[in-house]
Amino acid sequence: MKYLVFGANGSIGSLLLNRLKENGNNVFPINRVFDVEKIKSFLDGDQRSCFVIASGWAPPRAMKGDELIKGNILYQKKIVELAQLLKPKGLINLSTVSVYGSVKSSVLTEREPINNPTFYGLSKLIGEKIVSEIKDDLFIVNLRLPGVLGKNVQNSWLFRAMVKLKKHETLLIHSPNSLFNNVIHTSELIRFIKYVVKSNFSFESGLAVNFSASKPVVFGKVIEFIRERFDSNSVILTEKGGTSFYVATRVLSDKFSYYARDTFEQVKLAIDEIKCMDVEGKTQWP
């Protein structure tokens, strides 16, 4: 199987690229501008390929509407045109739970109504619809991700909370008694990609699926688990108000027979990586 990773210079895309290479796969990195002839040469007529879309712009990097349109909508259209030309076996699009907007339910399912998403969330939702237009031609899945953890992925709230706890700083949280599984480690994405490829993409095409850790746990226990792992002296303060939800993964298990590692396992993977960072949050990977 040959992989084309779009957004290979981004924080998530670069990790996927390296992990796929480490596993001995034949991988072609693609950034904003791609050379169709070079891609054709890489594939060499082999249609047993998989597109992995980890591209797209997100706050705080891109806050302007025109940048989000360019990165999350127009670029998706180019990828779809390339897929129609090269006819890969499958396409895995990394999307976000931000497509739902303001979540009113305590459990986020794929049936949650879209409720006033940010322009970022809306642009990712349109990107999903663009790639799903070719679901009858090849296998398509849109993975709606919560906070992503992994080396160099530093834009999630939980990552910033972990750094604060490592530095023994005060941490302010809300809803400590609510259930939480709103996290996914990049290694889980690799695990899923390999699973789908091994199955020869033998699943329903065109689905949008919540992709999150299994086994929700009480949020306060997650924070305490992190604090203990860092042997932290941080004070945890609780503020009133705020809404919370956990992510249902029933469609993932029912439609794909796939079960992600549980919340504590995903968090522990990130803790072990953050231990390789200095107190300023700069990476010092061995």
Residue-wise pLDDT for 33-63, tens only, equals 888 999 999 998 777 899 999 987 666 554 5
Confidence band for 240, pLDDT divided at 50, 70 and 90: confident
286 has pLDDT over 50: no
Q: Are strands 179-180 and 2-6 parallel, antiparallel or unpaired?
A: unpaired
Whole-structure pTM value: 0.92
Question: What residue spans define the domains of the chain?
Answer: 2-149+184-212+245-261
Q: Tell which CATH architecture fits domain 2-149+184-212+245-261.
A: 3-Layer(aba) Sandwich (3.40)
pLDDT at site 9: 87
228 has pLDDT over 90: yes
Position 74, amino acid: L
84 has pLDDT over 80: yes
Name which of 41-45, 49-53, 96-100, 101-105 the model is least confident about. 41-45
Per this entry, what is the length of the chain? 286
- Mean of the pLDDT values across residues 140-147? 97
Name which of 89-103, 222-236, 269-283 the model is least confident about. 269-283
Which of 88 and 68 is assigned the larger pLDDT?
88
283 has pLDDT over 70: no
DSSP E strands: which ranges in the chain? 2-6, 26-30, 49-53, 90-96, 107-108, 139-145, 147-149, 171-173, 179-180, 183-185, 207-210, 217-218, 236-238, 246-247
29 has pLDDT over 60: yes
